[in-house]
């Protein structure tokens, strides 16, 4: 089975190759790229396209690698022991399975998303090396070895907030999602809003690429912002001619709140000429 994108997700050739290689060779695929270019979406769409169950493990700054495997709920066991619950004698009752375990024990192949791996502590990826490599781990409490019945397709996303350790990188395939070019972007818009007027898309893309090219933007709008913006443009019934007018006069685009998420960026747009010179 091969991944070729879906009716709502346009995958470029190199992305398809990356996903398919990761699938065939059973390696985790590390995906980086500008925010809003569909890194997290990728796992969802791969699962959907291939008809496989998806497990999502969202990483926070406090997430520990162990939590993905299993957790030992010692506190409930302590409570049960005070209450004389017979369950207390079997420690297995207090082992809570993590996402990795759930994906491992499935009879069919699953897709596992480890989202924003860079948010966690720097040691986090190192703690998962063996698990990702051998697709197995050991439960000390019950002296049990958990092995993956089918190696899940693992997709890991990163926003580059922390550097990932070399040992971890070596075990992954790496793909960098580039910001899509105009043609791909048009395709993406088409699959999301098939009924939208093409003249509106054309003008909107002009404005959008214009905004992206303003130097010094704190957060460049990306694909997801463009899609949001188009949605409000349609719902507010903005005419393409109006967009063209605002672009010609270098005004801030209508409903810019969907595109520019930073107050300083909005100001930047309002006075593009004042900030060309710099220096003391």
Partner 1 sequence: MLIDFFLRLKSARIPVTIMEFLTLLEALERQLAFGSVEEFYYLARLCLVKDESNFDKFDRVFMAYFQGVIDPLEELTGEIPEEWLRKLTERFLTEEEKQQIKALGGLDKLLETLKKRLEEQKERHQGGSKWIGTGGTSPFGAYGYNPEGIRIGQDGSRHRRAVKVWDKREFRDLDDSVELGTRNIKVALRRLRNFAREGAAEELDLPGTIRATAGNAGCLDLRMVPERHNKVKVLLFLDVGGSMDPHVALCEQLFSAARSEFKHLEYFYFHNFVYERVWRENGRRWDRQMPTLDVIHQFGPDYKLIFVGDAAMGPYEIQFVGGSVEHHNPEPGAVWLRRLLDQYHQAVWLNPGAEREWPYTTSVQMVRQLMGDQMYPLTSAGLDRAIHYLGK
Query: Which residue ranges make up the site for partner 1 (CB under 8 A)?
Result: 13-14, 17-18, 20-21, 24-25, 27, 30, 32, 72, 74-75, 77-78, 81, 121-122, 160-163, 166, 169-170, 172-176, 178, 278-280
Shortest Cβ 17–partner 1 spacing (Å)? 5
Shortest Cβ 240–partner 1 spacing (Å)? 23
Q: Which lies closer to partner 1 via its Cβ, residue 13 or residue 249? A: 13
Shortest Cβ 193–partner 1 spacing (Å)? 27
Q: Which lies closer to partner 1 via its Cβ, residue 34 or residue 44? A: 34
Number of Cβ within 10 Å of residue 42's Cβ equals 25
Q: Which lies closer to partner 1 via its Cβ, residue 81 or residue 147? A: 81
What is the C-alpha separation between 69 and 138, in angstroms, rounded? 9
Q: Which lies closer to partner 1 via its Cβ, residue 20 or residue 190? A: 20
The residues, ordered by sequence, that sit 6+ positions from 90 with a Cβ below 8 Å of its Cβ are none
Q: Order of strands, edge to edge, in the sheet holding 173-177?
A: 54-58, 111-115, 153-157, 29-33, 173-177
Q: Which lies closer to partner 1 via its Cβ, residue 77 or residue 244? A: 77
- Are the beta carbons of 23 and 152 closer than 8 angstroms? no
- Are the beta carbons of 87 and 78 closer than 8 angstroms? no
What is the C-alpha separation between 63 and 67, in angstroms, rounded? 7
Shortest Cβ 91–partner 1 spacing (Å)? 10
Shortest Cβ 192–partner 1 spacing (Å)? 25
Shortest Cβ 158–partner 1 spacing (Å)? 10
Q: Which lies closer to partner 1 via its Cβ, residue 25 or residue 271? A: 25
DSSP state letters, 156-191: EE--SSSPPPHHHHHHSEEEEEPPP-HHHHHHHHHH
Q: Which of 53, 8, 2, 43 has the alpha carbon at shortest distance from 23?
A: 2
């Amino acid at each position: 089975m091969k991944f070729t994108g879906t009716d709502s997700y346009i995958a470029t050739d190199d992305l398809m190759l990356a996903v398919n290689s990761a699938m065939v060779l059973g390696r985790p695929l590390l995906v980086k790229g500008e925010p809003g270019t569909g890194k997290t979406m990728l796992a969802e769409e791969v699962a959907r396209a291939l008809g496989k169950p998806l497990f999502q493990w969202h990483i926070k700054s406090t997430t520990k690698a162990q939590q993905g495997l299993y957790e030992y709920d010692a506190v409930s066991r302590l409570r049960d022991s005070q209450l004389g619950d017979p369950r207390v004698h079997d420690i297995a009752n207090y082992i809570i399975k993590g996402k990795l375990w759930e994906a491992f024990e499935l009879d069919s192949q699953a897709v596992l998303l480890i989202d924003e791996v860079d948010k966690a502590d720097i040691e986090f990826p190192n703690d998962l090396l063996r698990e990702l490599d051998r697709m197995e781990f050991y439960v000390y409490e019950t002296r049990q070895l958990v092995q993956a019945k089918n190696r899940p397709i693992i997709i890991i996303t990163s926003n580059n907030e922390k550097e990932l350790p070399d040992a971890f990188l070596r075990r992954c395939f790496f793909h960098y999602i580039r910001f899509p070019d105009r043609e791909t972007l048009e395709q993406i818009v088409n699959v999301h809003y098939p009924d939208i007027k093409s003249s509106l898309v054309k003008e909107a893309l002009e404005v959008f690429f214009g905004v992206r090219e303003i130097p010094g933007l704190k957060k460049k709008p990306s694909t997801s912002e463009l899609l949001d913006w188009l949605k409000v443009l349609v719902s507010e019934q903005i005419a393409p001619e109006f967009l063209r007018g605002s672009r010609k006069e270098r005004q801030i685009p209508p409903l810019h709140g969907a595109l520019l998420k930073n107050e300083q960026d909005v100001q930047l747009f309002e006075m593009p000429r004042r900030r060309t010179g710099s220096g003391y």
